A and B are shown apart, each in its own frame.
Chain A
Amino acid sequence: MAIAEPVARRALRTTSRRKTRNLERKASVAAASLFGVVTLAALLAPVLSPDNPLMPAGAPLLGPGKGGFLLGSDSIGRDVLSRVLYGMRTSWFAALGVIALGLLIGGVIGLVAGATGGWVDNVLMRITDAFLALPAPVLAIAVVAALGPSLLHTLVAVSIVWWPFYARIVRGEIRNLAARPHVEAAKLAGAGRLRIAVRHLLPGAVPAALVTASLDIGNLVLTLAGLSFLGLGQSAPAAELGADTARNLSFLLQDWWVPVMPGIGVLVLAFIGNIAGDGVRNLIEPD
């Protein structure tokens, strides 16, 4: 029986993929790699910014392109571009941080619940459901209000309300996998609980968790910007996208660029996040 044949056939198939297919894949890879590009740009924000975001660098309220300010200057003459770049940097890292924490906490809880089953699963999922039954952003506002407004507190608050989402997804995947005969076969082969969880269950939940996480970055950027807009973030001089729009709303009708540009910064970040997320999904779950 020629077993090696299908393996070889498989290799053949990958090399002989049609051009369109190849192009789609390349587009997805390019989109997914935007995550890296944005992260790099965020790291380099101090280099990319023309001016210090906190110090006046020229005349106040100059329009975009005037006085050497690409995106104009704000009411005390600070460079809007620099402020937006620094704000994007903060937003991006904040979003990544919350997602990483959510994946970690939610992943562990989902894995434990899904792999153990029984009452452990019941208790953990009841707690998760209780969190999910509440509107996350509103709960975050209450947490920050109690702890006092600061970026760190906002991130802690959002992380607290964000992980249950991941716990649900990971747990669901693990439950589905646990019902497959391959787990029972591993049990009969003598694999212990830990080995089954780590080797026979967890790898199967990784793709779904990754896809969810990457599609979630855009959402998180938007949510954090909204909270920042409400004043739940860094205090006044710091550059923060939502807060910069909120504080400068009164300039909207005359000097529109001051409140609008930070909003566009959020849009760009969320848009890139969504495109990259789509790319990751297409790579991991090609339809």
Chain B
Amino acid sequence: MHLAFGPAAEKTVTDPGASTSEAQAIEVASIEDLHVTFRRSGKDIAALRGVSLDIRRGEILGLVGESGSGKSVLGLALLGLLDARADVRGAVRVAGRDMAHCDQSARREVRRVHLGAVFQDPMTSLNPTMRVGRQVAEVAGSKDEAERLLGAVGIPDPASRMDAFPHELSGGLRQRVMIAMAVAGNPDLIVADEPTTALDVTVQAQVLTLLRSLRDEIGCSVLLITHDLGCAAQVADRVAVMYAGRLAELGSSAEVLARASHPYTLALLRSRLSLASDRTTSLLALPGEVPNPAAPEPGCAFAPRCDLAGPACLDAPPPPLEVRPGHLSACVVPAVEVTSRLAEVVRAAVVPHPEREPHNDDVVTLYRVQKSFRVGAGRTTRRLQALRGVNLTVGRGESVALVGESGSGKSTLLRIVAGLESFDGGKLEVAGPDCPQMVFQDAGASLTPWLTVGEIIGERLRGISRAERAAKVAQALAHVGLPAEVAKAKSAQLSGGQRQRVSLARATVVAPSILLCDEPTSALDVSLAASVINLIGGLRRELGMSVLFVTHDLSVARVVADRIAVMYLGRIVEVGDADQITSQPVHPYTQALMSAVPDMGREPVALRGEPASPLAPPAGCAFHSRCPKAIDDCGDALLDVRLTAVDRSAHHLAACIRATA
């Protein structure tokens, strides 16, 4: 398969001997001591501080890091797309050119012939006013080739999708279009920057699988940039872990997972949630926050958060050293010592949860709750069926997680319990005396920007003196691990983790009977997420609150909740004790969600298709169109699948005629 237009000839010139066996060892890109500094509001932001990295021909290299680690800057540097005002030192060699310093037209040529790119948000990354066929043809060279590519990336009926505009496609299909553009012309390297972050869990697995199969087919290399170590380890051949603009650890995926040698990698692995995480103790959260890139420390950037840090760590950033063949780690402490000493620290840090006393009364009772929204106006009005009859109870002091993909109605359910949304039918009882409190996904947006933290939290304290109010605010802040001075700060002056703590302080300054959590950790870095989850669990036990926790991630649900309710298109399809649901899922959808959780060393199992539109839920069992176990009866319009007891257990219910019959 070769390009229809010219530069193919040049390609063989810049890549001598592409087909020889030696070429397998040659790297498609090599980064040498790369420093990138941006100037923002008059301050120098050190995004990359000396990174050297080779990408080998045909490999998938997972580049893992939290926000501010510089992983995306590295990707842009490879593409030669850094801001022209950035100060770049070092070299970024792709196809014989230095993408950091060669002229624009040479960079363009390398991008056009040798590189492909997939970005995070396929909605904004595609031109909204151009038909996708034309957008692909722009790189593919011809309409026919574009159509072939759309087919190759798994877009059903590519001929008709050629004329679609991006907004007419689902999120998964849009990302497939992006991938089609990236692989057009058989590039040597595809830079994929968080390609699955904006997608639903079950679609993420599809896209990862697609990326890997394309690599196998075309033989290109892939740089997979992600914040999720599990996601990288699952599909990548090698993994590079970055922290604060430097490489912390690099090695083959299996090696890094099994024998992580850098304290940061170990911390990431510990705080990362999986279906095997221990539910009975608090999570091991990484203390502190990501360092400020505007004021880099002279020594190891991780030292302030590291349990093993000593005086030797503070002088100079340690260079990556080989700990085993092909396995680098940038730590002054010998690898063997790292693992043994950290194991001890961990043993000391683990706090088991106290036993919960069972309560018999319910705080929230939902009975056949229905909700639909009107979409559009005039003749095009349609009804979006967000909730199609939901029964659920939350006991006093109990924690229940609602799990589902976009369109499942989980957030709508939460907002109805909060009283922020009305409902059309059914019954809702919420035990008083005060109304439920809520923490939002975007904690920053849930704090009024021009009010101080003290004013915001104080809003819940009426009818008491100013001094009493200040004392209560300070107490609530202390409860969430923040000092009293925070009361004087405004939201913009706080970090992401601090904002989420402030919103928890507001919710608990007067303990509510139930705390509603709308994906409070999904916008946070892995290390911060664990500490917020610990905090919510701690507050719940201390204040005797119930918690209703919405998440798309079963592994999060498993550790935060006593019970889990899995939702699909406005209905609960399975509900039961967290252990039961995650160890013996009965409903095919729950099983699919389980297998979609990215985990190390496990093949991603992709569920076909994407969640159907709640504007037109399929007849019968709404899941039957995607269900691997569906039989003809499942799509019967007269079928009303109800939650039925599994194994005669009153706790574990599932709505599937195949599973419970």
Q: Do chains A and B touch in the complex (CB under 8 A)?
A: yes
Cβ B482 vs Cβ A189 within 8 A:
no
Binds A, one of B91-99, B399-407, B487-495, B609-617: B487-495
Q: A3-B483, A7-B493, A9-B292 are in contact. Are A185 and B447 (CB under 8 A)?
A: yes
Whole-angstrom CA separation of A182 from B481 in the bound complex:
22
Decide: A3 and B448 in contact? CB cutoff 8 A. Answer: no
Nearest B residue to A182 via CB reads: B448
B440 adjacent to A190 (CB under 8 Å): no
A181 to B506, CA, bound (A): 14
Which residue of the partner chain, among A1, A4, A16, A199, contacts B43 with CB atoms under 8 Å? Answer: A16
User: Could you give 23 example pairs across A and B, Cβ below 8 Å?
Assistant: A1-B498, A3-B482, A3-B486, A4-B483, A4-B485, A6-B489, A6-B494, A7-B488, A7-B493, A13-B42, A181-B440, A181-B442, A181-B446, A182-B446, A182-B448, A185-B503, A185-B506, A186-B448, A186-B459, A188-B436, A188-B437, A189-B437, A199-B448
- A187 and B420 in contact, given A3-B486, A203-B450 (Cβ under 8 angstroms): yes
Does A180 interact with chain B (Cβ within 8 Å)?
yes
User: Interface size on A (CB < 8 Å)?
Assistant: 28
- Residues of chain B within 8 A of A4, CB atoms compared: 483, 485-486
Assuming the A-B contacts A1-B482, A10-B493, are A185 and B446 also in contact, with contact meaning beta carbons closer than 8 angstroms in the complex?
yes
**B451 close to A (CB within 8 Å):** yes
Given contacts A3-B483, A17-B41, A204-B449, contact A188 B438 (CB under 8 A): yes
Q: How far is the CB of B565 from chain A (nearest CB, A)?
A: 22
- Per DSSP, chain B at the interface is loop
Asked if B374 is at the interface (CB within 8 A of a chain A CB), the reply is: no
Which 6 A-B residue pairings sit nearest by Cβ, starting from the closest?
A18-B42, A181-B446, A181-B440, A17-B42, A21-B42, A189-B459
Kindly identify which residue among A6, A181, A200 contacts B445, using a CB–CB cutoff of 8 Å. A181
Q: Beyond the given A3-B486, A184-B446, please list 13 additional residue pairs across the A-B interface where CB-CB is below 8 A.
A: A4-B485, A7-B489, A9-B294, A13-B43, A13-B294, A17-B41, A181-B445, A184-B438, A188-B418, A188-B419, A189-B506, A190-B462, A204-B449
A191 in the interface, Cβ–Cβ < 8 Å? yes
Q: CA of A161 to CA of B33 in the docked complex: distance in angstroms?
A: 63
Q: Of B41, B442, B498, which contacts A21 at CB under 8 A?
A: B41
B-side contacts of A3, CB under 8 Å: 482-483, 485-486, 489, 494, 498
**Interface status of B312 (Cβ within 8 A of chain A):** no
Let me know if A185 and B438 touch, CB within 8 A. yes
In the bound complex, CA of A199 to CA of B458 (Å) = 13
CB distance from A173 to the nearest CB of B (A): 13
**In the complex, chain B residues 251-299 whose Cβ is within 8 Å of any chain A Cβ:** 287-288, 292, 294-295
Q: State A172–B456 Cα separation when bound (angstroms).
A: 24
Note all chain B residues with C-beta closer than 8 A to A180.
Answer: 445-446
Residue ranges of A at the interface with B (Cβ–Cβ < 8 Å): 1, 3-4, 6-7, 9-10, 13, 16-18, 20-21, 180-182, 184-191, 199-200, 203-204
A1→B295 contact, CB < 8 A: no
B341 CB within 8 Å of chain A = no
Query: Which residues of B are found within 8 Å of A10, using beta-carbon distances?
Result: 493
CB distance from A130 to the nearest CB of B (A): 19
Q: Does B471 contact A (CB under 8 A)?
A: no
Q: Which residues of A contact B493 (CB under 8 A)?
A: 6-7, 10
B interface vs A, CB < 8 Å? Answer: 41-43, 287-288, 292, 294-295, 418-420, 434-438, 440, 442, 445-451, 456, 459-460, 462, 481-483, 485-486, 488-489, 493-495, 498, 503, 506
> Min CB distance, A125 to chain B, in Å?
14
Contact A189 B498 (CB under 8 A): no
Chain B residues with CB under 8 Å of A200's CB are: 448, 451
Q: Chain A contacts of B494 at CB under 8 A?
A: 3, 6
Residues from chain B with a CB closer than 8 A to the CB of A187 are 420
Of A6, A189, A190, A204, chain B has the most CB atoms within 10 Å of the CB of: A189
A181 to B450, CA, bound (A): 14
Give A60 Cβ to nearest chain B Cβ, in Å. Answer: 59
Contact A190 B451 (CB under 8 A): no
A13 with B485: in contact, given A181-B445, A182-B446, A188-B420 (CB under 8 Å)? no
| Nearest CB in chain A: distance from B394 CB, A | 17
Quick check: B459 and A191 within 8 Å, CB to CB? yes
B295 contacts A9, C-beta separation under 8 Å: yes
In the complex, which residues of chain B have a beta carbon less than 8 angstroms from the beta carbon of A189? 437, 456, 459-460, 506
Q: Is the CB of A185 within 8 A of B42?
A: no
A92 CB to closest chain B CB (Å) equals 31
A265 to B442, CA, bound (A): 52
Q: Which residues of A contact B498 (CB under 8 A)?
A: 1, 3, 6
CB neighbours of A190 from chain B (8 A)? 434-435, 459-460, 462
CB distance from B293 to the nearest CB of A (A): 12
In the assembled complex, the Cα of A186 lies from the Cα of B304 at a distance in Å of: 36
- Specify the chain B residue showing the minimal Cβ separation from A4: B485
Query: What is the CA–CA distance of A18 and B503 in the complex, to the nearest angstrom?
Result: 34
Q: Which of B42, B436, B447, B498 has the most CB of A within 10 A?
A: B42
With A and B bound together, what is the CA distance between A157 and B57 in angstroms? Answer: 73
A18 to B40 Cα, complex, angstroms: 10
Nearest A residue (CB) for B287:
A1
Picked from A16, A182, A199, the residue with its CB within 8 Å of the CB of B42 is A16
Q: A102: shortest Cβ distance to chain B, in Å?
A: 24
A92-B90 Cα distance, complex, nearest whole Å? 58
Partner of B288, one of A1, A185, A191: A1
In whole angstroms, what is the CA distance A178 to B109 when docked? 47
